[in-house]
A and B are shown apart, each in its own frame.
Chain A
Amino acid sequence: MAKMKGATLVDIERCKGCRLCVVACPLGVLALTTKNVNQKGYNYAEAVLEDTCTGCSSCAIVCPDGCITVYRKKED
């Protein structure tokens, strides 16, 4: 079976750092930043294990602010 590769794009300024996406991701791809904050002062979500992402969209579905866009492609 071909493996799926995914990529997430987080709208940093819209993110409120609620951490629900971090909890929802089954593969631990996302994490909140520890040093950087957005203009509102929130630690935002970012992909820390980009290669692991399969594009399942769990993070984006649970995001209350609709900050996450997900792409998915079959690995050749």
Chain B
Amino acid sequence: MTKEEIMKPENLVYRKPELLNDTPMHYCPGCSHGVVHKLVAEVIAEMGMTEKTIAVSPVGCAVFAYNYIDVDWQEAAHGRAPAVASAIKRLWPDHLVFTYQGDGDLACIGTGETIHALNRGENITIIFINNAIYGMTGGQMAPTTLLGMKTVTCPYGRVPELHGYPLKITEIAATLQGTCYVTRQSVQSVGAILKAKKAIRKAFEYSLQGKGSNLVEIVSTCNTNWRMTPEKANQWMEENMFPFYPLGDLKDTGK
């Protein structure tokens, strides 16, 4: 069988999601953001919500997310995405509203907005990309940076006496009464990616059904600022991030 015989439209099994447009993504090679963008685009299309989705983009590496996924977007001030999303959801209750935020945006400057939006039980979904570092600004220490991890602002490693302890925002969210579905996933392998996709779909469905706020944390890599190859960064994440940020559902009251 020749390549031409196989490459026919009826034999197509995987292609770039249609909602993801042809604009080349500005992310570094191997960045987890691209995979999560693909998952979000696939889930929205599969749910048939293309025309009824409003997303809120953060400040951070994902600030240009609105250039890549063809749904309606609103850019929020740094950390304020959950507040903006709350307003949008209240004005458009039949729309799918989600925010897409990194750890600097969500777990640092936007901690207040995040916790209160989740606690109010706004029917939104927050997708939280946690790579334990400030990616866009050049690899500074973030609240989620692991103890002992080296960044440009803690070159000898993070020490609790000086820098405090890493913040587990997802665990905090699971204790709030307003949240419906709180989960932690990753996207380093095929299996993990398929699980993450299911989690995103579940969170989107719950928020549409008005069951409360949903948080999907994706433990991610930042190979550029971790100073590793993408392959090595995935291994490092499995060895160092997963023991501190264990994967799985922390709360699911929507069943």
Main secondary structure of the interface of B (DSSP, over half): mixed
Q: Known contacts A5-B1, A24-B190, A68-B14; decide if A73 and B6 are in contact (CB<8 Å).
A: yes
Q: Which residues of A contact B193 (CB under 8 A)?
A: 61-62
**Could you count the A-B residue pairs with CB atoms below 8 Å apart for me: how many are there?**
94
Does B153 reach chain A (CB closer than 8 Å)? Answer: no
Which stretch from B17-25, B72-80, B116-124, B128-136 is at the chain A interface? B17-25
The chain B residue with its CB closest to the CB of A50 is: B3
Q: Which residues of A contact B38 (CB under 8 A)?
A: 64, 66
Tell whether, in the assembled complex, residue B11 and residue A71 are in contact, meaning their CB atoms are under 8 Å apart: yes
Residue in B6, B30, B31, B231 whose CB lies within 8 Å of A6: B6
Does B255 reach chain A (CB closer than 8 Å)? Answer: no
Does A69 reach chain B (CB closer than 8 Å)? Answer: yes
CA distance A71 to B1 in the complex (A): 13
CA distance A15 to B172 in the complex (A): 38
Give the number of residues in A that approach B within 8 Å (Cβ atoms): 35
Which A51-74 residues have a C-beta within 8 angstroms of B?
A: 55, 57-58, 60-73
Tell whether, in the assembled complex, residue A7 and residue B6 are in contact, meaning their CB atoms are under 8 Å apart: yes
Interface residues on B, range: 20 to 34
The chain B residue with its CB closest to the CB of A11 is: B16
CA distance A16 to B224 in the complex (A): 13
CA distance A31 to B62 in the complex (A): 29
Q: Known contacts A7-B7, A9-B7, A73-B5; decide if A62 and B14 are in contact (CB<8 Å).
A: no
CA distance A57 to B11 in the complex (A): 12
CA distance A26 to B163 in the complex (A): 42
CA distance A22 to B14 in the complex (A): 17
Which A1-60 residues have a C-beta within 8 angstroms of B?
A: 5-7, 9, 11, 13-14, 16-20, 23-24, 42, 50, 55, 57-58, 60
| Complex A-B: 6 CB contacts under 8 Å | A20-B30, A24-B190, A62-B189, A65-B24, A66-B16, A69-B16
A residues near B, CB below 8 A? 5-7, 9, 11, 13-14, 16-20, 23-24, 42, 50, 55, 57-58, 60-73, 75-76
